[in-house]
Each structure stands twice: as structure tokens, then as C-alpha cells.
Structure 1
Amino acid sequence: MKHLNFNSVLHPRPQPTGIDVQCQLQHFALISYAIDPEKLHHIIPQRFKLDTIFVQGQEKVLLSVVPFIDIDFTSACYRFPKFSMGQTNYRIYVIDQETQERCVWFIGTTLDSWTVFVPRFAWLLPWYKAEIHFDCQQDQQGYYSSYKMTTYSEWAAAEVHLTQSAQDEWHYDGFPDLESYLVYLTHPLAGFYHRRDGKLGTYRVWHDRLRPKPATLLHAKFELLNRLNLVSFHDQLKPYSVLIEAINEFTIYLPPQVLEQNSASYPIK
């Protein structure tokens, strides 16, 4: 992989309009796994190619589980009530072959809020109702002495327990340097997915440079990854890398767009 740099991807925030949303993401974690690309070809449409790296001489693609709490979730343009809700995204790193942009493919999302009916039924996003609990403690320096998240969901039940200290080391095997790893993992601004009707959908976000720090996984159990034969329960205990950022800010540009009326495959059930 060639060197990636933030100077080439950072840009001022596009002016929000209409129903665009802004929010802060608290307890933002990235638990990433390096998996065999062959396990993903049936999921990703031909428009995209997997953004692979070589880990210990083997071609791999990264898949991240991304839990966080949306806080102060509200309109970016108007006075509007603010919401807070737990959320977990399951995403794969890909390249849009039409634009050559690095982006993410969303397998799906769990959301702990009655508002899930808007993305699920109005926009047909692969979002699923869940009950999500966070139990996090930080020390005086802001490191997570304990980070626990539990999701109760028919679609993607999950458990994760992380810890963090100043002694945690960076792991970015397969990348030329730390900056390339961080650009790849933290700065895709376009997301794609199969809508619940099988059509190809997309939406965009904006955020400034994220500044997560490495952490250590003590326990993980992601039912979805095991069910799809992507990462077994045993292998989930051996992540490629773990990152946590205490809080950051996102702008989400809505509504999502429909790109193709027919897609080669369908949403993960």
C-alpha cells in the first residue's frame, strides 16, 4: 500500500442544509479484524473492490465493529430536540471503482432508539433495533480503565470489554506508517450499503481528523460476525487492532441516496 496522508483527505465542512444532522460520538471504539477477502466477495457489489493490505505476507481486508453513543444528536440547521442513543456499526473497507474514493461498506447497524424506524422504514437502511448498554470508566488522563458494551439484539447481539493505558502500543502491520493506517481506518467519509429492498444506497459524513488511541481487547463476542462466518468467536479474541476516542463530532448529510435500482446481492438478514 502507498503512503496515505491526512492533508489529501481533510477539507472544510460542507455547509449543512435541509435535514442534515450533527452529533457527538462518545466512547467511540474501532475493533478491527483482518480477514480473508474470499469471505467478502459475495457481500460486496462489483462496483467496489476490497481495500486490501498484506499482513504477515497474506492478503487481508479489515472489518471494523464500531460502537459508540450518539449524544446531542440533532438538526445541523434548525432548533430541534436532542437525542442520545447507543449505536454499533459493522463496516468493511472498500474502494469505489467509479470514483477511486476510499470508503466503507456497511453490513448493518444496531441502534438503541425508537428513532430507528426512520432509517429502517423511511430510507430502508439495514438498521436494526437493539438494546445497548455502555459501562465505561476513565482515569484522570482520559484512558479507559474499563470499557464495556453489551448489545441485546436478534440481529447482532454483542459483548465487548476493552481496557486502555498509556502503555498500549500501536499495531498497523501492512501499512507503511501510522498515518496511513489512521487515514485508512478513521477517515472514509462515504458509506455504501444494500438497502432492505436490495438496492444500492449511500450517504456521506464529515468530521475533522479523529485522534483515537490504541487499546487492548479483554473479551469480545459478536454474534453477527460468527453467524456470517466472517470471524469466529475464537478469532474475535485476536483483533488486528483496537482504538478508542473518548468523543468526536460528526455531520451526517441526509437523506441517503439510491444509486442503483437493482443490485447483485441483498442485505444481510
Structure 2
Amino acid sequence: MRNVTRGPDPAEYNAAPVASRPWQTLRFKDHLVPRPPVSGINARCRLQHFAIVSYLVDTDQLRRLVPPRFMLDSVTIDGQERGLVSAVPFVNVDFTLAAYPFPRLRMGQTDYRAYIIDRLTGERAVWFFGTTLDSWALPLPRHLWQQPWHSGRLRFDCQLDASGSRYQRYHLHTASAGASVELSLTQQNAPPARYPGFPDEETARVCLTHPLVGFFHRRRDGHLGAYRVWHDQLRVEPGHLLNARFELFARMGLVSIAEQQYPHSVWMQPINDFTVYLPPTRLEPE
């Protein structure tokens, strides 16, 4: 077909392939890669009030939502296979072009994603169900790049302790058609972190915090799209969920509101640095 771009080549980015299943131990030393060069409209940004709230989900339901090109990056708990999804809220600060001076943007954002493995490359990745963005810049990803991004008003109310590294209070309120959010987290008096289905904490961190490529269905033509990010090892620390209401997950039949009170894991980081390789690519049909 004309006007179709091939997807990113993992070799170009020194992507770390997935080893054989079932679960193997993962180490960051095998997955950290140098930052690829930036050019054009590649973007640099800092993500403030960054959190990853992950849930175990039914694999049959999740497979119906993910194209057959991808397998689920699942875990096995008590002999039962479970998929993993996460909501990732943050405030995008200092968003600017990496190669050229450009006004710096600030905008609240929440990504909704599932953990997958690309059967064609063996690479760990995420599948994006959608993104809520609080910015006048929404038409660019939504209409020009056909990403499944939607409008929302995100309000963060967060307070760090005296060290500036741990959250006493983290609250997010999002008003968005079909994707409203009420989320309360803390790092005060949190119970010891557990990572069911993973052999150890580092394996969980590599799987849940370090995919560097995301796939999505383009809004108008239904083709697959993909884009890459780069970041160093995230210095996230465990958090504790006090209350959650992610309307999108409930509406999709993935995680009910009652189930959302019991996440698989919660990680938080006051701020980190990302590079985003734009624009997204349109993949050739299989």
C-alpha cells in the first residue's frame, strides 16, 4: 500500500530481545541501551508525579483487545495465567524538541496500556488502549498522527516529605468523557511491596517499567502505529494505593472498580527524564 512506513527496526535501537518463556529472571544490565541520536521533532521531556499502577487481568479478555501480532507478557500465579495492564499518570513538564529550541510545554497525561511481546521481533513492548491529555496540543497526536488520545482535565494534588523523594500525598482527579479518574496514593506507612508472578523485584521492574516501544491502533484507518521512547533505569519506589477509580479499565471490562482497590503493584517517582521519538510510524499490514 502507498504511504505506509515500516515500523522501527529493533537493531537500530539495540533492542534487547525476549528470552524463552516461561518466566526468566531479567536484569537491567541486559536491557539498558544507549540513547539513540535525536533529530527532527524528537522530543525531550521530564515527567513529574510519575506513577505506574498495575493490575492483573483475565488473559482471555485481554487477548480480545490486542492484535494477534502480539503475545501477552503474562505471569502465572497459583497455576493461572494472568495478563498485566497499567495506568501511568504524570505531568509532562519541560516538553520540547530535542534538536531545536522550542517553547516548553506543561501538560497532564495518563497512559493506559497492556504489557505485550512483539512476535515479529521478540521485543517487550506495551499496547496502548488510549491516553488522556490535558493540553491545547491534543489535535497533533489525535488527528495528525491518529493516536488514540482524548481530552481530559487532570488535576494533581501532591505533597512530598522533607526529603523531596517520597509522597505523603498523591491525588489525581481527571474529568474526561469515558475516562474519568479518582486516584489516591501515598508512600507513608506503606506495607512491604510484593510482586506476584515474578521471581524477584528486579525482574518485575524490568518488565513493568522498561518497555521502550508502544503500539496502538490508528484512529481512522485501523492500521497499527508504533513509537519509541528512551529513558534510563527509572528510580521508582513502591507506593501504596488508598483509592482508585479508573473509569476506562472498568468500562473495558478489564478491572472492575472493586478490583481496582487491589493493584498488583504501585510505583512512584517525583520526576524523571524521557526522550520521545516522533512522529509515530504506520506499520505495514501483515
Short-chain TM bin: over 0.9
How far 1:260 moved relative to its partner? Answer: 3.3
Query: What is the aligned counterpart of 1:251 among 275, 279, 282?
Result: 275
Identify the residue that residue 184 of structure 1 maps to in structure 2.
Answer: 207
Distance of 2:153 and 2:96 partners within structure 1? 21
Aligned counterparts, 1:1-269, within 5 A = 1-141=23-163, 142-165=165-188, 167-197=190-220, 198-261=222-285
Distance of 2:57 and 2:209 partners within structure 1? 18
How far 1:143 moved relative to its partner? Answer: 1.1
Q: Any unmatched runs of 5+ in structure 2? A: 1-22
How far 1:40 moved relative to its partner? Answer: 1.0
Letter in 1 for 2:45: C
Cα deviation digits, residues 86-137 of structure 1 (max 9, x gap): 0000010000000000000000000000101000000000000110000000
Distance of 1:168 and 1:189 partners within structure 2? 30
How far 1:256 moved relative to its partner? Answer: 0.3
How far 1:140 moved relative to its partner? Answer: 1.2
How far 1:261 moved relative to its partner? Answer: 4.6
Letter in 1 for 2:234: L
Contact 2:190 2:239 in 1 (8 A): no
Distance of 1:234 and 1:245 partners within structure 2? 26
**Larger displacement relative to structure 2 (84-93 or 168-177):** 168-177
Distance of 2:102 and 2:285 partners within structure 1? 33
How far 1:186 moved relative to its partner? Answer: 0.5
Contact 1:148 1:162 in 2 (8 A): yes
Distance of 2:42 and 2:146 partners within structure 1? 17
- Number of residue pairs matched? 262
Distance of 1:56 and 1:220 partners within structure 2? 26
Distance of 1:165 and 1:206 partners within structure 2? 30
Q: Any unmatched runs of 5+ in structure 1? A: 263-269
Contact 1:143 1:166 in 2 (8 A): no
Contact 2:125 2:212 in 1 (8 A): yes
Identity value in percent? 50
- Over 4 Å off, 4+ runs: none
Letter in 2 for 1:4: L
TM-score (norm 1): 0.95
Secondary structure of the residue that 1:103 maps to in structure 2? strand
**Larger displacement relative to structure 2 (160-169 or 206-215):** 160-169
Contact 2:190 2:240 in 1 (8 A): no
How far 1:55 moved relative to its partner? Answer: 2.2
TM-score (norm 2): 0.89
Secondary structure of the residue that 2:76 maps to in structure 1? strand
Letter in 2 for 1:162: L
